[in-house]
Structure 1
Amino acid sequence: MDTAQNKKKDFWGFPVTHFTYFFQWQIINGYLTLWMEQQGHLDGTTAGFVFSMMAFMSLIFQPIFGVISDRLVFKKNLLATISIASILIGPYFQWLFIPLVHINAALVAVVTGIFLSFVFNGGVSVIEQYVQRASLANGFEYAHSRMGGSLAGACASFLGGKLFLWSPNSIFWACTVMGVVLSFTVLFSDKIHMENAAAAGDTTGSLDWSLIGQIFRIRNFWILSIFYIGTSALYDVFDQQFIIFFKTFFHTAAAGTTAYSYMTTGQIALEFLLMFPMPWLINKIGSRNGLIAYGVILCIRIVGSALSPSVAWVVILRLLAGFEMPLVLTSIMKYIAGAFDIRVYATVYALASNFAKQISVFIFSTVAGNLYDSIGFQHTYFILGAIVAVATIIAAIFLTKEDPVQAGEVEASQKQ
C-alpha cells in the first residue's frame, strides 16, 4: 500500500513540470510572431530570422545538453538552470526587446535567439529526457505525464489570446510566473525511485565517449534524423506564421486573434484527451508505425490548409494537430528507447529529434518567411507539404523496427 502511494506521489510532480514548461512554450510559439508584428513592427522576413537564430543557437546547445544530460542522468543542475532562466522572459520582452530593435534588427534576432533557444529549443530535450527517464525508474507512462504539457497548451492558447488583447506584454509575464512555479517544482517536487534508476541508464556519471561516437555510424540514426528534419521541423515552420495566414480569413485582426485562441485551445484539448490512450495504441501498432502515421497526418494538414476554401476547413485541419502531437511524442520516446542504447538516450534524442530538426528550422524559417512575402501562404504550404511527404516515405522504407520489450511496448514475458 505504501509503495503504491509513494509511486503515485512521485508521479504528480512531473505533469506539473510539463504543464509549467509547455505553458511558456505555447505562449512563445503561439503569440511571439503576432507580438513581433504588432508591437515590434517586424516584417515576415525579419520575424523568420528571429526563429532561424533560435534554431541556429539550438545547434550549439542541443548536442552539449544531450551529452551533459547523459552524464547527469537524474541530477538537476542543468534542469534547474533552464527553469530559472525562464523566469527572465517577462523582463526581457518588457524592457530589452524594443530598445534592441531600435538599435539593430539583426542584433535583437541574435540576442532573442540565444535566450529563447537556451530555454526552449535547447532546453526542451533536457526536460523531456529527464521525465522519460523518470518514467522508466518510477514505473509510469511518459505520455501520461506529458498530458500536463497538453493541458498547458490548451490553457495557454485560451488565456494567451485574452491576455494579448488586454496587454500584449502580459503574455510574457505569464511565462515568468510559470517559470517560478517550474523552478520550485524541479527543485523540491520531482522525485526519482533511485532503486530502479539503472533502468534509465548509467547512473555513475561516467560516459563512454566511444559509444557516443558510434551513434554517427548507425544508419538508423541518420534515417531518424532525416525524418525529423522533413517532418517535425516543418511542423514548427508551418506553425510559426500560421496565425498571420489564419487572420486573412477575418475582417479584423482582433476577430482573427480571438478565433485563433479558441481554435488552438480546442486542438490542444483534443491533444490532451488523446495523450491518455495513446501509449496503449502505440504499444499495439509499434512506435515506428506511430512515427510514420504522424508524417502522413502532417502532410495532409499542410497541403489541406493550402487548398482550404474557407476558415471552417482551416479549423478542421488545424484540429488534426491534436492527433499529431500525441502520436509523435509517444512514438519518439518509445522508439529511441527501443532502437538505440539506453545509455545514450538523451544524446540520441537531442541529436536526432532536436539537433537535426533545428538544422531544418534554421534553414527553412527564413526561407519560408521570404516565400510567405513573395509567393504567399498557399504556394509555400505546397512546398512544405511535399517535403514532409518525401521524408515520411523515406522513413517508411528505411527506418528500422524497434525492440518492443526495450521500448516498453510489451512485457518481456509476452515476446515470443
Structure 2
Amino acid sequence: MNNEQTTPKKHATKDFWGFPITHFTYFFTWAIVFGYLTLWLEQEAHFNGVQAGFVFSMMSGVSLIFQPIFGVISDRLVMKKNLVITIAIGMILIGPYFQWVFHPLLKVNTALVGFVTGIYLSFILNGGVSVIEQYVQRASLTNKFEYGHSRMGGSLAGAIASLVGGRLFLWSPNSIFWACTVSAVILTCCLVFSDKIHLDNLAAVGVDKTSSQLNMKQLGSIFKLKNFWYLSLFYIGTSAIYDVFDQQFIIFFKSFFHTAAQGTLAYSYMTSTQTALEFLLMIPMPYIINKIGSKNGLIIYGLILGVRIIGSAMSPSVGWVIVLRLLAGFEMPLVLVSIMKYISGSFDLRLYATVYALASNFAKQISVFIFSTLAGKWYDAFGFQHTYYILGAIVLVVTIICAFGLKKEDKVQAGEVSAPANADASK
C-alpha cells in the first residue's frame, strides 16, 4: 500500500537504551562543569572574576578550532567510534586533573593553568558536544529510533546534576569532578559494549558499498550552499540570542522581588519546573515534528522565542514572567529535535557532522561572543526592558527571513516519514 509513504517510522526499542545512557552520562558532566566550575575556581583556586572568565573564554575560543575539525573527522569516520571514545576517555581524566594537576600548574603560573584548563575542557565539552550529538543522531537513523527520545537522557542529566551537584560540592568540592569521572567511565563502557550500530543499514546515513571517502572538495562544497548560510543565520539570530537573553535573566527576574533571597529561591523552583517540562515534552516532540516538519519546527521555535523575549519586557508582574519563562521548556525540545531532523533532511547525509558543527555550534559561538558584549552595554545604557525589545526584534526578523530562505527538508531522508514499500523496486 502506498499510504506507507506518509506513516512516521516506528520507534524501535532494539539497541536503543544504550543511547539515552550515553546522553545522560555525557550531559551530567556538562551540567556539573558549567554549573559549578565558577564556584570551584572561586573557592578552591581563589580565582577572581577576570581569571575565571579567562578559563571560560579559552573554552569558547578554542572550541572554534575544535568544532570544524571534529565535524570533518566525524564525517569521515561516519559510525566508527574512534573520536567519541577518545572524548569519553578524556572525560575520565577530569577528576584526576582537578585533584592532582590543576594546583601544581597553578603554582607555576595562573595564566598557564587557565590556558591548559580551557583547552582541556573545550576538547571534551565545547568541542566534543557536537561529536556526541551527531553520533547519536546518525545512530537513530541506522537503528531506527527517535533521536529526541534518546536526548531525554540529557535533559534528565541536567535535573539530576542540579540535585546532587550542590550536595557533593558542600561535602567535598573536588567530589563534583570525581562524579564526572565515574559518569565518564560509564559513558565509555556504554560506547564500547552497549551502543550497537546497525551496520547493515548505513545507507540511512548516506553510506553504501560504492561510496568513496569524503575529500576536502566535497567538504568545502558546504560553503557554496545557500541553505547552509540561512541555517547559520538562523542559529546566529535565534539560539545565540537565547543564550544571551539567558545570561543575565536572573538579575531581571530578581527585580520583581523584595529581597534577593526570595528571587533566588523562586528562580530555582522555576528552573526546576522548566527542566521537568523539557524532559516530559521530549516524549511527544519527535512525533510532533514528524507531523509538522522540521523546518516548520525551527520557525515555530524562533517565533515563540521572539514573543517570549518581548513578552518578558512587557510583563506587568512576576506571574507573567514565570509563564513566559516556562515556554523555554517547550522551546528546547522543539529546537533540539527539529535541528537534527532538518540537517538530516536538507543536506548530504555524509556531511551531517560538519554542517551541524559549523552552522549550529561554530556560528552560534561567534554570535554569543559578539552579542554578549553588545547586550551588556545595552543593559547598562537602556535597561533590561528596552534591551529585550531589541533582542526579541532581532529574533523575529531573522526567523521571518529564514522562513522564506530555508529550503524544505526531504521528509523521508529526515526520518519524518517512512519510505514507500516499493521504493527499492521502482529504482
TM bracket, shorter-chain basis: 0.7 to 0.9
1:114-263 equivalent positions in 2, closer than 5 A: 114-164=119-169, 169-202=174-207, 206-243=213-250, 246=253, 258-263=265-270
Note the C-alpha offset of 1:175.
Answer: 2.5
Name stretches of at least 5 consecutive residues in structure 2 with no aligned partner: 1-11
Query: Could you tell me whether the CA contact under 8 Å between 2:98 and 2:174 is conserved in 1?
Result: yes
Over 3 Å counting, the alpha-carbon distance change for 1:249 and 1:28 in structure 2 is farther
Partner of 1:407: 414
Structure 1 window deviating more from structure 2 (163-172 vs 64-73): it is 163-172
Could you tell which deviates more after superposition, 241-250 or 380-389? 241-250
Task: Give 1:49 shift.
Answer: 5.3
The alignment partner of 2:417 has SS state of coil
**Cα deviation per residue 1:102-149 (whole Å; 9 max; x = unaligned)?**
987765654443222211221111101111111111111111111111
Decide whether aligned partners of structure 1 residues 293 and 162 sit closer, same or farther in structure 2, where only a CA change above 3 A counts. farther
The answer to whether the 8 Å contact 1:160/1:261 transfers is no
Number of equivalenced pairs: 409
Question: Is 1:13 the counterpart of 2:49 in the alignment?
Answer: no
Residue 283 of structure 1, aligned match among 277, 281, 290: 290
Question: What is the aligned counterpart of 2:80 among 52, 66, 75?
Answer: 75
Query: In angstroms, what is the RMSD of aligned CA positions?
Result: 3.3
Relative distance call for 1:284 and 1:155 in structure 2 (3 A) is same
Which SS does the other structure have where 1:412 is aligned? coil
Alignment partner, residue 358 of structure 1: 365
Aligned residue number for residue 30 of structure 2 = 25
**Structure 1, 22-31 or 278-287: larger mean CA deviation:** 22-31
Contact 2:136 2:147 in 1 (8 A): yes
Partner of 2:325: 318
Q: Which one-letter code corresponds to 1:273 in the other structure?
A: L
Deviation at 1:35, TM superposition (A): 5.3
Provide the rounded CA distance (Å) in 1 between the counterparts of 2:101 and 2:388: 34
Decide whether the 8 Å contact of 1:157 with 1:262 is kept in 2: no
Per the TM alignment, residue 242 of structure 1 is displaced from its structure 2 partner at its CA by: 4.1
Q: CA deviation at 1:32?
A: 4.1
Aligned to 1:290, what secondary structure does the other structure show?
helix
For residue 133 of structure 1, what is the amino acid of its counterpart?
A: R
> How big is the shift at 1:363?
2.7
Which has more radius of gyration? Answer: 2
Indicate if the aligned counterparts of 1:11 and 1:138 stay in contact, CA closer than 8 A. Answer: yes
Q: CA deviation at 1:160?
A: 3.3
Unaligned runs of 5+ in 1: 1-6
Whole-angstrom CA distance in 1 between matches of 2:147 and 2:22: 12
In the alignment, the residues of structure 2 paired with residue 179 and residue 20 of structure 1 have an alpha-carbon distance, to the nearest angstrom, of: 6
- Compute the displacement of 1:251 (Å): 6.9
Alpha-carbon deviation of 1:91? 4.4
How far, CA to CA, are the matches of 1:9 and 1:242 in structure 2?
42
**Which region of structure 1 is more displaced relative to structure 2, 224-233 or 20-29?**
20-29
Matches of 1:313 and 1:36 in 2, distance apart?
36
Residues 21-47 of structure 1: per-residue CA shift (max 9 Å, x gap): 11222233344455556765544x766
Residue 11 of structure 1 and its aligned partner are, at CA, apart by: 0.6
Give the Cα–Cα distance (whole angstroms) in 2 for the partners of residues 238 and 95 of structure 1: 37
Give the drift of 1:154. Answer: 2.0
Calculate percent identity across the aligned residue pairs.
Answer: 72
> In the aligned structure 2, how far is the partner of 1:234 from the partner of 1:52?
18
Aligned partner of 2:64 among 51, 56, 59: 59
SS of 1:11's equivalent?
coil
Q: Please say if residues 19 and 150 of structure 1, whose CA atoms lie closer than 8 Å, have aligned partners that are also in contact.
A: yes
The amino acid across from 1:236 in the alignment is D
TM-score by length of 1: 0.86
Instruction: Go from structure 1 to structure 2 and tell me whether the alpha carbon gap of 1:367 and 1:249 turns closer, same or farther (over 3 Å shift).
Output: same
**TM-score after normalising by structure 2:** 0.84
